[in-house]
C-alpha cells in the first residue's frame, strides 16, 4: 500500500511539475467559464424550461471541452516513461506492474477531480449575484458531478490504454481523442441516421453519454450507467495492465 | 550472489546472448567487458528483472529473477545505462521517492538519503532540478539511487561513461570502497578501470563468454604478453636486423625520431630480453636512450579476444 501511495504521490506531483497541468487548467476554465456565461446570457433573453446547472452540463461547448481534456491528461502517463527510459529504473524497483498501472490511473483521476472543483464556484457566484437557485435541487448537483466522475473514470482508462501502447505522446493523444470522441457521441447516431431500427435506437440510448448526462443532471440517479462505466473502466484497466506487461515480450 | 545458467536471449531475428554461465560470489567486484552490442546491457537488464530471458535461468541471492522477481529486485541496486531520471524532480525529492519505492522504512528514509548524498557528493546540488544537472551529477544521482536501499548487490551499467577524468577517478574510488560491503557487477569500456577495481573479469563477445578470470590470470594467458621498446642511435647498423636475431623476439617495427630509431619488439611471453639487448647495444657501440618493457594490459587481452575471430562468420 505504501508503494502504491508513493507512486500515486509522484504521479500527482508530476502533473503539477509540468506546464501541461496549468495549461489544461487554464484552457478548461476558460472554455467552461465561457460556456457558463453564454448559457446564462442565452437564458436571460427568453424563458427556459431548464435550470442553469442543467444547461451547463448539456451544451455543445461543454461537450467540446470535455472530450478534449482526457487526451491531454493521459497522453504522458506511460508514453513519457517509455520515451525517457525512466520505465527502466521504475520497473527494476520492487514494484508490481499492477501497482504502477493503478497509481497512474488514480493519479490522472485526482488531477481530473481537481480540474472540476473550480466549476462549483460558477454556481455559487450565480446564486450570490442573482439570488436565484442555479439548480432545481441539490440532487441535481450530486447527479451531474457523479456522472462526471463515472465518465471521467471510463475515459481516463481509455487514455491509459492509448498511452501504454506507444512511446509517442502525440500518437497516444490522437488515439485516445478519436476513441473518446466516438464513444461520447455514439448516442448521436440515432439523430443523424434516421433509418435505424427501434432496437438499435434503444441500444444506443443505453450507451449514450449525452443521454446519461441529461438524466443525471436532472438529479435522476439511474444505476445502469454506474454499472456500465465501472465495468468498462475495469475492462480498460485490465487491457492496460496486459499491454503494460507485454513490453517484456515485445522488447 | 548471482548465478546464471544457460542464459539465452533472442530478439526478433537475432541472438543477443547465448548460453551464458557464470557466478558472482558474495563480496566480489565483477567486471563485465565487451565491445558495443556484445550483450552486456541485455544480460544486466535480465538480471535486474527488466526483461525476461528466452531460456535459461538466473538468480540473485537465491531468488529467481523471473519467478521471484520482487524478492530478487528488492535485493538489488541497478543503475541503467545513460541513467534515465525524472527531469522535473529535485535531487532530494527523487531520492526520497526512490527510497520509499524500494521499501526503506519510513523513519530511515531521511538518514539513508542523507548518507548517499554525502557518499556521492550530491550535497551541493540537492535542491536542484535533475533536468538542470550536468552529466556527471546525473550519473551520481543514478549511483545514489542504486545505493539508497543498501542492497546486497549492485549492478552498474557503464557507471563512468561520459564523465571527465577527475570524476572517473572519484567514481572508481567510490566503487572500490563499496566493494567492501556490496557485491558489484559493473560493465565498462574503460579497461584500466577494470584492472584497478575488479576482482574478476568476464569478457563477452557476440553474446558468448570468451573469458572469465582474474585480471592477472587473463594477462598471463595471452600470447603476446610483453613488448619491449628500444630507442637507440645505431650508427651504420640497421638495428632491426640485429634485434630480430635475439631469440624470443618475434617482430620488430621501426620508427624514426630525428637521429633516434625507436624499435618496438614483440616478444614471446615470459621472456625478458632486455639484458641481451643491452649486451648487443654495447657490442655494436649503439647509443641507448630508452630500454623498457611494456606490461601487457587488459586492453591487449580484450583486443586479442574480441578480434581473433574476425574472419568467422558473424552470428
* B1 neighbors B61 (Cβ within 8 angstroms): yes
* Minimal Cβ distance to A93: which of B82, B89, B102: B102
* Chain B nearest CA to A88, separation (Å): 7
* Chain A nearest CA to B183, separation (Å): 17
pLDDT (0 to 100) of residue B314? 43
With beta carbons under 8 A apart, name residues in chain A contacting B89. 13, 17
Contact between A89 and B73 using a beta-carbon 8 Å cutoff: no
The residue range of the domain holding A173 is 2-250
Indicate the DSSP class of residue B125.
G
What is the rounded CA–CA span in Å between residue B102 and residue B178? Answer: 19
Instruction: Tell me, yes or no, if A136 comes closer than 8 A to chain B by beta carbon.
Output: no
Instruction: Tell me, yes or no, if B97 comes closer than 8 A to chain A by beta carbon.
Output: yes
pLDDT (0 to 100) of residue A103? 96
Over residues A202-224, the pLDDT tens digits come to 888 888 888 899 899 988 999 99
For the sheet with B226-233, list strands across it: B249-257, B260-267, B226-233, B287-294
Nearest chain A residue to B88, by CA: A17
Residue A46 neighbours by CB distance under 10 Å: 6
The radius of gyration computed from the CA coordinates of chain B, to the nearest angstrom, equals 24
pLDDT (0 to 100) of residue A251? 59
What value does the mean pLDDT of chain B take? Answer: 85
* Chain-centre distance for alpha carbon A179: 13
With beta carbons under 8 A apart, name residues in chain B contacting A88. 45, 50, 80, 84
Whether residue B313 is predicted with pLDDT greater than 50 in this model: the reply is: no
- Segment 71-130 of chain A within 8 Å of chain B by CB: 84-89, 91-96
Looking at the DSSP bridge assignments, the partners of residue B232 are B261, B288
Over residues B85-108, the pLDDT tens digits come to 999 999 999 999 999 999 999 999
Contact between A91 and B85 using a beta-carbon 8 Å cutoff: no
Instruction: Tell me, yes or no, if A10 comes closer than 8 A to chain B by beta carbon.
Output: yes
Three-state DSSP state, B79: strand
Whether residue B289 is predicted with pLDDT greater than 90 in this model: the reply is: no
Residue B253 to residues A105, B6, B241, B269, B279, Cα–Cα distance (Å): 68, 44, 10, 18, 20
Mean pLDDT calculated for residue range A180-202: 80
Percent of the residues in chain B that have a pLDDT greater than 70, as a whole number: 94
pLDDT (0 to 100) of residue B178? 85
- Beta strands B14-24 and B29-33 are unpaired
**Kind and range of the H or E element at B5?**
strand B2-11
pLDDT (0 to 100) of residue A163? 96
Q: CA angle at residue B114 from B108 to B116, to 5 degrees? A: 100
What is the rounded CA–CA span in Å between residue B217 and residue A148? Answer: 70
Fold for domain B2-220? Answer: Rossmann fold (3.40.50)
Contact between A93 and B82 using a beta-carbon 8 Å cutoff: no
Mean pLDDT calculated for residue range B46-53: 91
Least confident of A134-148, B2-16, B159-173, B217-231: B217-231
pLDDT (0 to 100) of residue B312? 44
Specify the higher pLDDT residue, A60 or B91: B91
* Chain B nearest CA to A89, separation (Å): 7
* Minimal Cβ distance to A85: which of B84, B100, B103: B84
Testing the interface with B: which of A88, A98, A244, A245 to mutate, by most B Cβ within 10 A?
A88
* B188 neighbors B194 (Cβ within 8 angstroms): yes
Q: How many residues does chain A have?
A: 251
* Chain A nearest CA to B86, separation (Å): 7
Instruction: Tell me, yes or no, if A250 comes closer than 8 A to chain B by beta carbon.
Output: no
Whether residue B300 is predicted with pLDDT greater than 80 in this model: the reply is: no
* Minimal Cβ distance to A2: which of B88, B100, B145: B100
Three-state DSSP state, B164: coil
Percent of the residues in chain A that have a pLDDT greater than 90, as a whole number: 54
Mean pLDDT calculated for residue range B254-277: 82
Mean pLDDT calculated for residue range B256-278: 82
Mean pLDDT calculated for residue range B148-157: 92
- Give long-range contacts, CB 8 A cutoff, 24+ apart: B254-258: B257/B231
As its CATH architecture, domain B223-295 has 2-Layer Sandwich (3.30)
With beta carbons under 8 A apart, name residues in chain A contacting B113. none
Mean pLDDT calculated for residue range B204-209: 87
- Interface ipTM: 0.87
Instruction: Tell me, yes or no, if A19 comes closer than 8 A to chain B by beta carbon.
Output: no
Testing the interface with B: which of A94, A104, A244, A247 to mutate, by most B Cβ within 10 A?
A94
Instruction: Tell me, yes or no, if B13 comes closer than 8 A to chain A by beta carbon.
Output: no
Domain count, chain A: 1
Where do the domains of chain B lie? 2-220, 223-295
Nearest chain B residue to A85, by CA: B84
Amino acid at each position: 500500500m505504501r508503494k502504491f501511495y508513493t507512486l500515486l504521490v509522484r504521479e500527482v506531483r508530476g502533473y503539477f511539475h509540468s506546464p501541461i497541468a496549468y495549461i489544461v487548467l487554464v484552457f478548461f476554465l476558460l472554455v467552461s467559464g465561457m460556456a457558463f456565461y453564454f448559457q446564462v446570457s442565452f437564458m436571460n433573453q427568453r424563458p427556459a424550461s431548464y435550470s442553469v446547472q442543467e444547461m451547463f452540463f448539456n451544451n455543445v461547448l461543454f461537450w467540446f471541452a470535455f472530450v478534449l481534456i482526457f487526451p491531454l491528461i493521459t497522453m504522458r502517463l506511460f508514453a513519457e516513461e517509455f520515451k525517457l527510459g525512466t520505465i527502466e529504473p521504475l520497473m527494476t524497483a520492487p514494484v508490481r506492474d499492477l501497482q504502477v498501472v493503478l497509481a497512474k490511473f488514480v493519479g490522472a483521476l485526482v488531477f481530473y477531480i481537481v480540474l472540476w472543483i473550480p466549476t462549483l464556484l460558477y454556481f455559487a457566484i450565480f446564486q450570490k449575484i442573482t439570488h436565484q437557485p442555479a439548480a432545481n435541487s441539490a440532487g441535481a448537483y450530486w447527479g451531474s458531478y457523479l456522472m462526471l466522475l463515472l465518465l471521467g473514470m471510463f475515459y481516463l482508462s481509455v487514455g491509459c490504454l492509448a498511452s501504454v501502447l506507444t512511446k509517442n505522446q502525440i500518437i497516444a493523444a490522437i488515439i485516445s481523442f478519436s476513441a473518446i470522441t466516438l464513444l461520447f457521441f455514439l448516442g448521436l447516431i440515432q439523430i443523424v441516421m434516421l433509418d435505424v431500427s427501434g432496437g438499435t435506437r434503444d441500444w444506443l440510448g443505453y450507451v449514450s453519454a449525452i443521454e446519461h448526462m441529461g438524466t443525471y443532471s436532472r438529479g435522476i440517479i439511474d444505476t445502469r450507467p454506474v454499472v456500465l462505466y465501472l465495468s468498462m473502466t475495469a475492462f480498460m484497466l485490465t487491457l492496460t495492465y496486459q499491454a503494460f506487461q507485454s513490453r517484456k515480450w515485445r522488447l | 550472489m548471482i548465478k546464471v545458467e544457460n542464459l539465452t536471449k533472442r530478439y526478433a531475428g537475432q541472438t543477443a546472448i547465448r548460453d551464458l554461465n557464470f557466478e558472482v560470489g558474495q563480496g566480489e567486484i565483477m567486471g563485465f567487458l565487451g565491445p558495443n552490442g556484445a550483450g552486456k546491457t541485455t544480460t544486466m537488464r535480465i538480471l535486474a528483472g527488466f526483461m525476461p530471458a528466452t531460456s535459461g535461468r538466473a538468480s540473485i541471492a537465491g531468488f529467481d529473477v523471473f519467478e521471484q522477481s520482487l524478492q530478487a529486485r528488492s535485493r538489488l541496486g541497478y543503475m541503467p545505462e545513460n541513467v534515465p531520471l525524472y527531469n522535473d524532480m529535485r535531487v532530494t525529492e527523487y531520492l526520497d521517492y526512490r527510497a520509499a519505492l524500494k521499501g526503506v522504512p519510513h523513519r530511515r528514509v531521511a538518514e539513508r538519503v542523507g548518507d548517499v548524498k554525502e557518499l556521492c557528493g550530491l550535497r551541493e546540488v540537492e535542491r536542484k532540478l535533475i533536468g538542470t544537472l550536468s552529466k556527471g551529477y546525473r550519473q551520481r544521482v543514478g549511483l545514489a539511487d542504486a545505493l539508497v536501499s543498501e542492497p546486497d548487490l549492485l549492478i552498474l551499467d557503464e557507471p563512468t561513461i561520459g564523465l571527465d577524468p577527475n570524476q572517473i577517478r572519484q567514481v572508481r574510488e567510490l566503487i572500490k570502497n563499496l566493494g567492501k560491503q556490496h557485491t558489484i557487477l559493473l560493465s565498462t569500456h574503460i579497461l584500466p578501470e577494470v584492472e584497478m577495481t575488479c576482482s574478476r573479469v568476464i569478457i563477452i563477445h557476440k553474446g558468448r563468454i570468451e573469458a572469465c578470470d582474474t585480471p592477472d590470470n587473463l594477462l598471463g594467458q595471452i600470447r603476446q604478453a610483453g613488448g619491449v621498446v628500444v630507442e637507440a642511435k645505431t650508427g651504420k647498423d640497421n638495428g632491426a636486423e640485429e634485434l630480430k636475431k635475439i631469440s624470443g623476439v618475434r617482430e620488430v617495427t621501426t620508427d624514426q625520431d630525428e637521429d633516434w630509431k625507436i624499435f618496438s619488439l614483440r616478444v614471446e611471453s615470459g621472456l625478458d630480453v632486455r639484458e641481451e639487448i643491452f649486451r648487443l647495444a654495447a657490442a655494436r657501440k649503439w647509443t641507448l636512450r630508452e630500454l623498457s618493457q611494456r606490461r601487457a594490459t587488459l586492453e591487449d587481452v580484450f583486443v586479442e579476444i574480441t578480434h581473433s575471430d574476425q574472419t568467422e562468420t558473424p552470428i
